[in-house]
Structure 1
Amino acid sequence: MAKIDKVKETINILKFWLGIAVATLLALSGWLVLNYDKTDWFIVLGSVVCVAICATAIYYISKIIMSQIQELEEL
């Protein structure tokens, strides 16, 4: 497999995981907005931590995708 094909496949896999992270972030945020007053504080705290982790993952995956695109332009 050529290097350009490997980079393209890496980008595709990262885009898949980016979509999973965004969907998880939206689902957790929606649940948190609807249920923050009906549930225990430690579940709310755990949800906030998970939202922060998902947001961080989205940021880092996006940065990796952009660096892979830059590498693809150089090939």
Structure 2
Amino acid sequence: MPKLDGLKEDLGYFKFCFGIVVATFIALVGWVATNYNKAELWLIIVACFTALLFAILAIFLNRRMRKIIEEIYINKGEK
């Protein structure tokens, strides 16, 4: 049971981090969409690169959360 509780805590932590990453990604994309003609080119490039990094991080976190969910289902069946 302690392992199952630990997995649930890990899942909660990753869900929180995933929410922050997605919100930041959306904010960056929104900023680029509204300021692409006003901001300097280097700033747009940095924002796009950062948004790409956050998208990759979101994919990584999603895969990790799916593995944790699978482990939770496996451990529930071992009772």
TM-score by length of 2: 0.92
Q: Where does residue 62 of structure 2 map in the other structure? A: 62
After TM superposition, the runs of 4+ consecutive aligned structure 1 residues lying more than 4 A away are none
Q: Which has the larger radius of gyration?
A: 2
**Cα distance, 1:18 vs. partner?**
0.3
What is the rounded CA distance, in whole Å, between the counterparts of 1:38 and 1:72 in structure 2?
48
Long gaps (5+) in structure 1? none
Aligned residues between the structures: 75
Long gaps (5+) in structure 2? none
Confirm whether residue 21 of structure 1 aligns to residue 8 of structure 2. no
**Cα distance, 1:74 vs. partner?**
0.8
Percent identical pairs in the alignment equals 29
TM-score by length of 1: 0.97
**Cα distance, 1:70 vs. partner?**
0.5
**Cα distance, 1:33 vs. partner?**
0.1
